[in-house]
Structure formats: structure tokens, C-alpha cells
A and B are shown apart, each in its own frame.
Chain A
Amino acid sequence: MDKVIFAQDLSLAYNTEEAIISKATFSINSGDFVFITGASGSGKSTLLRSFYGALKPANGSLLVGGVEVNNISTAKLNFLRRHIGIVFQDYKLVKEWTIDKNVALPLIINGYAKDVSDIQVDKLLNHVKLSHKTSKYPQELSGGEQQRVAMARALAHNPILILADEPTGNLDDYSSRLIWNLLEGANTQLKATVVIVTHHIPEDLAVDYKHFNIEGGTIYEVS
């Protein structure tokens, strides 16, 4: 199995402050479905940030897609990110763009043709039950609706790695189930590696999964 993410003695810190994650060693294989749990403020979002190269390791080594993110070139990092789909904890939708353009963002960046992109955006917005809101702006949507838009955007370009930070944090059971279905589908049908930060691992999950917990700055696998 290819290692999509491989961390060895990885420490993460903001500026020069004390480490939020220290000396973590773990790996995530291609095709894995992974949950990361931990108390609020334990460093879950911080860990995800390091996976997409927004936070460089303070110490140790972190390989994403076989590339050491510590000294990755800008071009390579951009290339890597074009194959990752991220759902941010605070969604990070582009305020001045409509919903359909927001979902199309990764497709635009990856150079998809307009007609292909339009079809894909329609399909995804239909999946997250937002087809009727395509030409609205993010601030005209509820928190949960924005979260679903963020999910649709993360999946738009069929990424090989999906990083989702509490993707159901704002959703009722029905909408949560929609999201899990999408993530399961991406994992089983598109062979995407899925990493999800959550407080509640769903009980009715259709795929096998790994579970990491963060506590006191260390990461360990729960079995």
C-alpha cells in the first residue's frame, strides 16, 4: 500500500510557541478512511493544516504523496494541492462568488472545460441538495448549507486525498447522512483517501475505517 501521508516524529507549532503536536509517528495509506478525534483545542485542525502544507513541521518529517512538505517547492505544493479536496472548519467560501462558482473553483484551477465543469457542479450541488441555490451568494445561505457547499467544492475535482474538518458539525442527521454517503462514495468508487476530523464517528458507516485520537499533543490509533 502506498503511503499517502507518512509522519515521523512530527511536531507542529505556531511561531515559536510550545508544540501542539509533538513527536507523532503514523501513516495513512492510499484508500484509507480515517477519523481523527480529540478534544476541542487538541490540535486536529492544526494537523490537517500540515497535510495541505499550510503549516510546516516544526520538527520531524512529514511526507504527503511521497513529498517532504518541509522543503517543498511552491510549484510542487500547488500541484499537490490540486489533488487534495479540503473542507475547512469555517468553510472558507469565496464571498463575492455565487455558489456554483464556489463549487467550480477546483475545476477552474485544474483547467476543466466549462461544459464539463458545469455538469460536475450541477451533479454535486444535486448530491448535497442545493440545486435550487446555485446562483445565491454564501452569505445568503444557512451555516449548514454553506457547509454542504464546502463539501461539494472539496469533491468537485475528484481529489485523491480528501481532508474534511468537522464536515457535519452544523448538520442535522439527514444532511449528515448525505455527507457520509458522499465521502463513502468517494472512498469506495473513486478510491480517494479520506481523512475526517469529527467529534462523532457515525455508527452506520458502510466502510472500514481507522481512528486516530489526539490527546495531550500525542496521536495514537484507537482500535
Chain B
Amino acid sequence: MRSVKNHLSLIIALFTIVFTMQIYIIVDRTVTAYESNLNEDYSIVVVTQNKVETDTLVALSSKIENAEEISTKEVIDHLQSQMKQRHIDLLKLSLPHFYSLHLDHYPTPSEIKDLRKKLEKNSDITRVEDFAKSHDTLYKLLLLFKSVVVLFAIAVFAVTSLLVMKEMRIWQFQHNERMSIMAMFGAPVWMRSAVLFRLSIVDAIIASLLAIATFTYADITEVGSEQLKSIGVDILLFDPLNDSILIIGVALSLSIILATLIVIGHKEEV
């Protein structure tokens, strides 16, 4: 138990890394959920003089999931009361066809631009309305937030890695002596390093359990779910099975890599 302090720093470092990772996963989930919400409401409207098969429109780009003609009947019905029947007939003849194109995902501004160019090349299409100006500001904010989280995660990873490296030096020093003594009595490498691996695996599991407990608690107490619901996003903050496996997996691999580096760096004392 004399080395509790050393354990603590490795546990905290590993915990910080998996914690940040899970935060990134939550942000990513939020953005994806928000994207699909937006996409449900989003469509591009094209105008054609002649009637076009909807399949032809879908074939114009792989991004277009389906196309639907927008009925003009309602507009005409609305006008019926105010206009003479003769004018209405004339209007019906000259009125173009409107199609709403639904995409398979919520497009970025540049994707919209490309798609617009493609659509305008088609001779039937006379007008394209992409509603690019109304591109969701909240969405842009979320994307910005996601990049910030990524940068933050990289920074956290860099700093904790440095801390862990420093810790590793101490570990190496501590374990070197025992490993050398064991070597003098003929212990093969795996046996000399067994203690080290056991310790780092235990530390990784403790760090994972701490992270899992933290997020389970956040999930139960519904931290932030109010805010997420207010922007129409209802996601799983923490997936008890998949996220736990990922957290344990990452923490274990990191600590095993660490222990391996110590074993490789081991110099036999005489």
C-alpha cells in the first residue's frame, strides 16, 4: 500500500482520458441526432416547366433520397374564391411544377453548393431553392462545439500522456530492482513483468469503473438532458453495454501499452 500515491496518479490519468473520450462521444451523438432532426425537416425545392418523373430527379445525385411533387392544388383552391374561372384555367396552364427533394443526410453548405450546380445543369429545371441562407445557426454552433471538444480532447490527451510518462519513470525505477532480482534467480521475462501487468490492469479497471460510475450517475440524474430535449435531441448519454466496453477497452490497452514500454525499457542491474 506504500505506492497508493503512484497508483492514484495512473488511475487519475486513465480516468481523465476515458472521461474526455466519453464526453466527445456524447457531443458526437448530440450532433448526429440533431443532424438527423434537421434533415427530416430539410428539403431542396426545384421548379420545372414540364412535368418530370420523380425517379429522374432522384437519379441526379446519390445524395437525393427521394423526390416528391408539391401539389399546387391547394394554392389554386385558395385563389378560386378571388379570381375568375377563366383566369384560373390560364394560371393552371402556365403554372410550373414544384418538386421537393429530400436528402439522405443534412448537407453542409459546400455540399449544398455542389448539389445546386448539379441540379442547375439539368435543362428541365428552371429554378433551385436550397434555403442555404436559413442554414441552422444552432447547428453551426454545435459543429463549432464539436471541434472545440476535439481540440480539448487532444490537449487533455497530450498533457495526461506527459504525466503518465513521468509516472512511468518512477514505476520503472521501482519495478526495476525487483525485476532484476527475479532475473538473477532465473525468472523468465513474463514472470518478472507479471506484477507490473497485474498492477496496471487493476489500475485500468479501477479507472474504468470510476468513469462508468460517473456517467451512469449522470445518466440516472439526467444531467443536461433537459437542455438536450429543448433542442429536440433525445440521446443516450451513456450506453451501459457498448460504452462500458469501449471505456474498459481503451483504459486497458493504454495501461498495457504502458507496462509493455516499462518492460522493454528494463535494464538488468548486476
User: Interface segment, B9-17, B156-164, B177-185, B232-240?
Assistant: B177-185
Indicate the member of B177, B178, B184 with the most A CB atoms within 10 Å.
Answer: B184
Decide: A52 near B2, CB < 8 A? Known: A94-B177, A94-B178, A96-B178.
no
Known interface pairs A49-B270, A54-B268; A109-B184 also in contact (CB < 8 Å)? no
Contacts of B189 in A (CB 8 A): 74
Known: A49-B270, A54-B268, A96-B178. Is A105-B185 also a contact (CB below 8 A)?
A: yes
A78 touching B184 in the complex, CB below 8 Å, given contacts A54-B270, A95-B177: no
**Residues 164-205 of chain B, each 1 if its beta carbon lies under 8 Å from chain A, else 0:** 000000000010011011111111110100000000000000
Within 8 A of B (CB), among A68-84: 74-75, 77-84
Known A-B contacts A49-B270, A54-B270, A96-B178; A86 and B184 likewise in contact (beta carbons under 8 Å):
yes
A78 to B2, CA, bound (A): 30
Within the assembled complex, what's the spacing in Å between the Cα atoms of A117 and B184? 19
Knowing A94-B177, A94-B178, A96-B2 are in contact, say whether A109-B268 is a contact too (CB < 8 A). Answer: no
Tell which of B177, B178, B185, B270 touches A81, judged by Cβ atoms closer than 8 Å: B185
Interface residue tally for chain B (C-beta within 8 Å) = 18
Query: Nearest residue in A to B268 (C-beta to C-beta)?
Result: A54
Complex CA distance for A82 and B174, rounded to whole angstroms: 24
Among A54, A93, A96, A97, the residue within 8 A (CB) of B184 is A54
Asked if residues A105 and B186 are in contact (CB atoms below 8 Å), the reply is: no
Closest CB in chain A relative to B22 CB, distance in Å: 34
User: Measured between alpha carbons, how far is A86 from B270 in the docked complex, in Å?
Assistant: 12
CB of A105 within 8 A of CB of B181, answer yes
| Residues of the B chain whose Cβ atoms lie less than 8 Å from the Cβ of A80 | 186
Minimum distance in angstroms from A46 CB to a CB of chain B: 9
Complex CA gap A77/B260 in Å reads 22
The answer for the CA separation of A80 and B184 in the assembled complex, in Å, is 10
Please provide the chain A residues from 57 to 107 with a CB less than 8 Å away from any CB of chain B in the complex.
74-75, 77-84, 86, 88, 92-97, 105-106
Across the interface, which residues of A come within 8 angstroms of B270, CB to CB?
A: 49, 54-55
Query: Which residues does chain B contribute within 8 Å of A54, judged by CB atoms?
Result: 184, 268, 270
Is B185 touching A86 in the complex (CB atoms < 8 A)? yes
Contact A81 B188 (CB under 8 A): no
Tell me how far the C-beta of B243 lies from the nearest C-beta in chain A, rounded to whole angstroms: 36
19 sample A-B contacts, Cβ–Cβ < 8 Å, listed by A number: A52-B184, A54-B268, A55-B270, A78-B183, A78-B188, A81-B183, A82-B186, A84-B186, A92-B181, A92-B184, A93-B181, A94-B177, A96-B3, A96-B174, A97-B178, A105-B185, A109-B185, A109-B186, A109-B191
Residues of A within 8 A of B (CB): 49, 52, 54-55, 74-75, 77-84, 86, 88, 92-97, 105-106, 109
